[in-house]
């Protein structure tokens, strides 16, 4: 009898531990932040209704992660949920699956229909998913316009561009033909609500997501800080002969150490000429003395990410030629940075930067004609640019939503990542920083990660995580031999 009671007590403790470790609602942002977003949707849609579906459970033992559009409006992290924002009633209803006691015994509590879920999430009504059909029929009976996301969902390490490309390739594949869950859902809604006009909700949400709130900025700042710490420890640990995947593993450790839920995108760790592939991610090459290494990597931290790139010499010291190559690139890169300002069109910033870059070229001492030619091509690209972008937006996705805009506004976060190349020699140099536009200028969120030659060499002279591990293993081996 005592044994049984002990086992029961242990079971209760285990359940309590799981419950304490698995919150029922995200801690990334408070309920009022999501409520304010839904209120903005109501302002945009009038008497219409917006319907958004969450992602499904996974067919694998990966941690569940909600899709970005659904999370943006709810913060709810349970599978197969449906959100209805009623513009006429100015209230929202969340439809979720009923309680699965077997799953809860295995994985911990989850959000279930009822007033407690409404209190936790800040959503006015939380009902059983089975009730959604009746709600949809009622909206159709009233002849309501229905706004639904049309773009395929973006999950962890996803982007709008990759989601769209994947769907298009699957549709074009004669042995596949799959469409997105969003397209399937739209067709099912059309069947049940044939009299309702269906409109695309994505442009409304994308315009909202373009300008980040203070709380969103804090999350991206933390994702950037973690990315920078990881890259700095990679530089400290780097030595000739290490494989690219070893350097990637060091960054992965730092991500996990700081509670990142996953990666924001696959790691780009490229040594030598591998860097000439802008999205190289095989990470199988062994580094060689004298090579430059590019690392471009950031985590997914509470549904927000960043994008940071640095280059460093694997042996810790820039050669004379590397100093010339990297040195002129850095000066041109920094010239661009000094031109960034709020309430100005990017095309005007590019023109201003080109003038400054011409001055840099005129004052720089070149010894290698190929490097000089590459630098001149680089500047010519800015001088002749007709675009209105400095880089790509960053937010919930590394290549975040990019709705039309004319000027840079406070709250926008984007990267600059121009590349200087010598194609015939497969030489490629690139840095990348996350830039936050403010009321008075901009903040380089990743500016704490060294870019100056002397600062990189100083950092690389410090002991890193990998070096500490090597010393630990060496000491253990010596201890074993001495026993």
Q: Of 188-192, 277-281, 399-403, 469-473, which gets the smallest average pLDDT?
A: 469-473
Is 15 a residue whose pLDDT tops 60? no
Mean pLDDT over 435-449 rounds to: 98
Percentage of residues of the chain with pLDDT beyond 70: 92
423-441: average pLDDT: 98
* pLDDT for 435 beyond 70: yes
pLDDT in tens, 160-200: 999 999 999 999 999 999 999 999 999 999 999 999 999 99
pLDDT at 413: 98
| pLDDT of 433 | 98
Instruction: Please write the tens of the pLDDT for every residue from 225-262.
Output: 999 999 999 999 999 999 999 999 999 999 999 999 99
Confidence of residue 473 (pLDDT cuts 50, 70, 90): low
Q: Is residue 8 pLDDT above 50, yes or no?
A: no
Mean pLDDT (whole number) for 388-400: 97
Looking at the whole model, is its pTM more than 0.95?
Answer: no
pLDDT at 24: 79
Q: Rounded mean pLDDT of the chain?
A: 93
User: pLDDT digits over 338-375, tens only?
Assistant: 999 999 999 999 999 999 999 999 999 999 999 999 99
Residue 41 has pLDDT above 60, yes or no: yes
Which of 20-24, 292-296, 390-394 has the lowest average pLDDT? 20-24
What is the SS3 assignment for the chain?
CHHHHHHHHHHHHHHHHHHHHCCCCCCCCCHHHHHHHHHHHHHHHCCCEEEEECCCCCCCCCCCCCCHHHHHHHCCCCCCCEEEEECCCCEEEEEECCCCHHHHHHHCCCCCCCHHHHHHHCCCEEEEHHHHHHHHHHHHHCCCCEEECCCCCCCCCCCHHHHHHHHHHHHHCCCCCCCCHHHHHHHHHHHHCCCCCEEECHHHHHHHHHCCCHHHHHHHHHHHHHHHHHHHHHHHHCCCCCEHHHHHHHHHHHHHHCCCCEECCCCEEEEHHHHHCCCCCCCCCECCCCCEEEEECCEEECCECCCCEEEEECCCCCCHHHHHHHHHHHHHHHHHHCCCCCCCCHHHHHHHHHHHHHHHHHHCCCCCHHHHHHHHHHHHHHHCCCCCCCCCECCCCCCCCCCCCCCCCCCCEEEECCEEEEHHHCEEEECEEEEEECCCCEEECCCCCCCCHHHHHHHHCCCCHHHHHHHHHHHHHHHHHHC
pLDDT at 10 > cutoff 90: no
pLDDT of amino acid 474 = 66
pLDDT at residue 471, as a whole number? 66
Q: What is the percentage of the chain residues whose pLDDT exceeds 90?
A: 90
pLDDT at residue 295 in the model: 98
- Residue 346 has a pLDDT of 98
Q: In the predicted model, is pLDDT for residue 16 greater than 50?
A: no
Q: What is the pLDDT of residue 438?
A: 98
The residue among 437 and 1 whose pLDDT is bigger is: 437
Q: What does the pLDDT look like over 82-128, one tens digit per residue?
A: 999 999 999 999 999 999 999 899 989 999 999 999 999 999 999 99
Residue 475 confidence (pLDDT) above 90: no
Task: Report the pLDDT value the prediction gives residue 465, as an integer from 0 to 100.
Answer: 75
Query: If you average pLDDT over residues 274-300, what whole number do you get?
Result: 98
**What pLDDT score was predicted for residue 481?**
61
């Amino acid at each position: 009898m005592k044994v049984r009671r002990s086992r029961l007590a242990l079971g209760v403790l285990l359940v309590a531990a799981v419950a304490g470790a698995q919150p029922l609602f995200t801690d990334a942002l408070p309920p009022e932040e999501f409520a304010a977003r839904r209120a903005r949707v109501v302002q945009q849609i009038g008497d219409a209704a917006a319907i958004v579906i969450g992602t499904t459970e996974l067919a694998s033992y990966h941690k569940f992660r909600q899709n970005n559009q659904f999370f943006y409006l709810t913060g709810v992290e349970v599978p197969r949920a449906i959100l209805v924002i009623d513009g006429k009633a100015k209230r929202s209803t969340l439809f979720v699956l009923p309680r699965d006691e077997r799953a809860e015994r295995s994985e911990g509590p989850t959000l279930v229909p009822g007033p407690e879920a409404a209190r936790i999430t800040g959503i006015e009504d939380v009902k059983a998913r089975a009730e959604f059909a009746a709600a949809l029929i009622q909206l159709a009976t009233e002849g309501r316009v229905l706004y639904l996301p049309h773009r395929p969902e973006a999950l962890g390490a996803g982007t709008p561009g990759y989601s769209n490309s994947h769907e298009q390739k699957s549709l074009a594949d004669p042995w596949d033909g799959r469409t997105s869950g969003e397209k399937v859902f739209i067709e099912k809604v059309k069947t049940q609500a044939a009299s309702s006009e269906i409109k695309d909700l994505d442009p409304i949400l994308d315009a909202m997501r373009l300008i980040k709130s203070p709380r969103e900025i804090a999350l991206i700042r933390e994702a950037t800080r973690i990315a920078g710490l990881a890259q700095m420890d990679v530089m400290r640990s780097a030595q000739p002969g290490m494989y690219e995947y070893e350097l990637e593993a060091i960054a992965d450790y730092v991500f996990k150490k700081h509670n990142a839920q996953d990666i924001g995108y696959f790691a780009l760790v490229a040594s030598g000429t591998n860097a000439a592939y802008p999205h190289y991610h095989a990470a199988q090459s062994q580094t060689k003395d004298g090579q430059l290494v590019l690392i471009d990597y950031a985590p997914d931290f509470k549904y927000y990410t960043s994008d940071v790139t640095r280059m460093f010499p694997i042996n810790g010291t820039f050669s004379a030629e590397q100093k010339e190559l990297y040195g002129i690139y850095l000066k041109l890169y920094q010239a661009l940075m000094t031109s960034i300002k709020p309430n100005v069109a990017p095309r005007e910033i590019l023109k201003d930067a080109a003038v400054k870059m011409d001055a840099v070229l005129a004052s720089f001492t070149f010894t290698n004609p190929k490097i000089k030619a590459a630098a001149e091509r680089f500047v010519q690209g800015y001088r002749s640019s007709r675009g209105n972008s400095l880089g790509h937006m960053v937010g919930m996705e590394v290549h975040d939503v990019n709705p039309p805009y004319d000027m840079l506004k406070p709250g926008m976060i984007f990267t600059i990542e121009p590349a200087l190349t010598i194609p015939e020699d497969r030489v490629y140099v690139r840095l990348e920083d996350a830039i936050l536009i403010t009321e008075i200028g901009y903040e380089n969120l990743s500016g704490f990660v060294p870019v100056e030659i002397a600062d990189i060499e100083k950092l690389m002279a410090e002991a890193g995580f990998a070096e500490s591990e090597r010393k630990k293993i060496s000491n253990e081996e010596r201890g074993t031999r001495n026993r």
